[in-house]
Chain A
Amino acid sequence: MSALRPRGFVRTYGSGPLHLLGLLLTFAVAGYAALKVYDDPVWWRYALWYVGAALVHDLVLAPAYGALDRLVQPLLGRRRRADPGDVNYVRVPAVLSGLLLLVFGASILERGEPAFTPASGLTQDPFLERWLLITAVLFAASALLYALRGRRRA
């Protein structure tokens, strides 16, 4: 056991002193940043979004896309000559379309328009239609590939 990892310390704490030092440094800086934000009267809104972002991802978004995925698989698997990989013909366009909605959702759902229109003189009208079109193209391309593969195999 090296000098950096005294046995008694490791047994009690669970790792070496450097591990503890690194963590305390991290907490100190993060705590200081939190204190600076606390100067803002609406500090609780920052906290809400900070904790909310992690909770919504871990307990809503991730379980939801996992459940959707499990829901789709048996639907496709019931057909004759089903290949377990066939689910990807749905999964890939769905993931890409969902990702674009997740990232650009504020414009697609025109949520930013009240601030965007006075600022720029433009609207957020075009984006829902464009996203639907992109989604349609993705699924159509995937369906085409599926049909071509089916014919090759037949």
Chain B
Amino acid sequence: MSTTDEAPATPDVQYGAPAAAFRALERARPPLPRFRSPVRGPWLTSVFAAVLLVGMPVLLVTGFLSYAAYDPQFAENAFPRDPGLLRLPHFDWPTSPSWLYRVNQGVHVGLGLALVPVVLAKLWSVLPKLFQWPPARSVAQVLERVSLLLLVGSILFELVTGVFNIQYDYVWKFDFYTAHYYGAWVFLVSFALHVALKLPTMRHALRTRSLREELRVDRAHTVPEEQDGTGLVAEDPAEPTISRRGVLGLVGAGSLAVTAVSVGETLGDAVRPTALLSVRGQSYGDGPNDFQVNRTAGVAGIRPDMVDGTWRLLLRGGPREVSLSRDDLLAMEQHTAELPIACVEGWSTVQTWTGVRLRDLLALTGLDGLDSAQVRSLEPAGAFNQTTLHDGQVRADDALLALRVNGADLSMDHGFPARVIVPALPGVRNTKWVRSIDFRA
């Protein structure tokens, strides 16, 4: 494949069919803004492009893995419900290592935030192309422009929905999972196309100067890049007010700043307060139950009378239905495990949980084989008042119906009288205020 603008402009400009229309378009030039920055140019754009060429695939992979971590092979776990042809191959999400989802989501959200300034810088660097005249000289260029609209639209859409979602600003009033998933597909294909079309241009531009030498050039010695017909280099450049290394440093400092004020939410409770601008950088206190709450008992509609001495856990699906009180559960063999709660929003916290192994509960039902188990909460409504676990998640050594955390009873907000905690499971699937477990052979 070749790009439509990698070759330098030639005096005998070629027009695709219908040539008369494209010539007329070129003559109908409206007044357009001029761009005079002396540091814009294909080399600088390509440096940002190279960073995004590494970063964006990581964002895409961790994003799609996060979708897989919900185990969408069970329809009730799938968000969005039915992606049709855009369904990813189904597999059982692993339970080991227990930090798998924590790291996946920490990277997805942390890298997504850190790449915001790089995306903005990349868009700034190619801004003259948006106002280039004529916008196209052939059908090929028209279509390529449309594909760029998809590319820029989708990356901004993904960043905006992601950034707003982690701050609980649901101003758009649509489903985040649906938006972020389909947006990711549009980004994936338009990004792949863009790379296929522009990779040679990027490689060529990166070879025009050496990064190491460019980092030694101060503002006073900064000169525009060679005119190359891409329309990025200003024809009438202003006096430089910043060097190229200054621009790169500023973008890098932006990434560092965004990371510095948020990464503590992912790294753990000891450094959480360093996340100055992250809503999940806040501390709850020093008690055994003082860690991040995703959904309070109040908003979930859990009243004290629903979880008092009359509460029973129902185990269904086997030859016999089993009903257990909290005391019955406490009388069973207790197992303790240190496991993270890791949210799709990127924050996580590791706590020490104690309770009954899920596989011990399965054994009580007398069921032989197992395909999956649907855990239901007392929570009357809400997309996550149930989840379905696969066989491996029920049988994992550290998969618990937790009754206690850090040596104390679970608090109401953390799911009293009992909650699920399974290694490597997305936080929201660790169902709180468990009412029943339906085992399916």
The interface of chain A, by Cβ under 8 A from chain B, is 5, 11-16, 18-20, 22-23, 25-27, 29-30, 32-34, 36-37, 40, 42, 45-46, 49-51, 53-54, 57-58, 62-63, 73, 84-85, 87-88, 91-92, 95-96, 99-100, 102-104, 106-108, 111-113, 115-116, 118-122, 124, 126-127, 130-131, 134
> Could you write out 21 A-B pairs with CB less than 8 Å apart?
A14-B138, A19-B4, A19-B140, A19-B144, A20-B140, A26-B190, A26-B193, A30-B150, A30-B185, A36-B83, A37-B178, A53-B159, A73-B241, A104-B278, A111-B171, A112-B167, A112-B170, A115-B170, A119-B296, A130-B276, A130-B277
Alpha-carbon separation in the docked complex, A39 to B365 (Å): 41
Instruction: Give the B interface residue count (CB, 8 A).
Output: 91
The interface of chain B, by Cβ under 8 A from chain A, is 1-2, 4, 14, 16-17, 33, 80, 83-86, 113, 116-117, 120, 123-124, 127, 130, 137-141, 143-144, 146-147, 149-150, 152-154, 156-157, 159-161, 163-164, 167-175, 178-179, 182-183, 185-186, 188-190, 192-193, 196-197, 219-220, 239-242, 246, 250, 253-254, 257-258, 261-262, 276-279, 282, 284, 292-296, 298-299, 413
In contact, A15 and B282 (Cβ under 8 angstroms): no
In contact, B258 and A103 (Cβ under 8 angstroms): yes
Which residues from chain A contact B163 at a C-beta distance below 8 Å? Answer: 103, 106
In contact, A131 and B277 (Cβ under 8 angstroms): yes
Which residues from chain A contact B33 at a C-beta distance below 8 Å? Answer: 63
Extra A-B contacts (19), CB below 8 Å, given A26-B189, A30-B189, A118-B299: A13-B140, A14-B137, A23-B193, A25-B189, A29-B86, A33-B186, A36-B80, A42-B173, A46-B182, A62-B123, A91-B242, A92-B250, A99-B257, A103-B163, A103-B258, A104-B277, A115-B169, A118-B298, A130-B276
What is the distance, in angstroms, from A112's C-beta to the closest C-beta of chain B?
A: 4
In contact, A42 and B170 (Cβ under 8 angstroms): no
Alpha-carbon separation in the docked complex, A88 to B250 (Å): 10
In contact, A99 and B117 (Cβ under 8 angstroms): yes
Given contacts A53-B156, A92-B253, A99-B257, contact A20 B143 (CB under 8 A): yes
In contact, A106 and B164 (Cβ under 8 angstroms): yes
Which residues from chain B contact A116 at a C-beta distance below 8 Å? Answer: 167-168, 279
In contact, B127 and A62 (Cβ under 8 angstroms): yes
What is the distance, in angstroms, from B247's C-beta to the closest C-beta of chain A?
A: 10
In contact, A15 and B140 (Cβ under 8 angstroms): yes
Which residues from chain B contact A49 at a C-beta distance below 8 Å? Answer: 157, 160-161, 172, 174, 179
A interface, by DSSP: helix, strand, loop or mixed?
A: helix
B interface, by DSSP: helix, strand, loop or mixed?
A: helix
In contact, B261 and A100 (Cβ under 8 angstroms): yes
Given contacts A22-B197, A111-B171, contact A12 B16 (CB under 8 A): yes
What is the distance, in angstroms, from A132's C-beta to the closest C-beta of chain B?
A: 11
In contact, A119 and B2 (Cβ under 8 angstroms): no
Which residues from chain A contact B1 at a C-beta distance below 8 Å? Answer: 15-16, 18-19, 22
Alpha-carbon separation in the docked complex, A34 to B242 (Å): 42
Which residues from chain B contact A108 at a C-beta distance below 8 Å? Answer: 277
6 closest A-B pairs by CB: A14-B138, A14-B140, A14-B16, A112-B168, A106-B169, A106-B167
Alpha-carbon separation in the docked complex, A57 to B155 (Å): 12
In contact, A15 and B138 (Cβ under 8 angstroms): yes
In contact, B169 and A111 (Cβ under 8 angstroms): yes
Which residues from chain A contact B149 at a C-beta distance below 8 Å? Answer: 54
Alpha-carbon separation in the docked complex, A50 to B186 (Å): 11
What is the distance, in angstroms, from A58's C-beta to the closest C-beta of chain B?
A: 6
B33 and chain A: residue at smallest CB distance: A63
In contact, B139 and A14 (Cβ under 8 angstroms): yes
What is the distance, in angstroms, from B196's C-beta to the closest C-beta of chain A?
A: 6
In contact, B173 and A45 (Cβ under 8 angstroms): yes
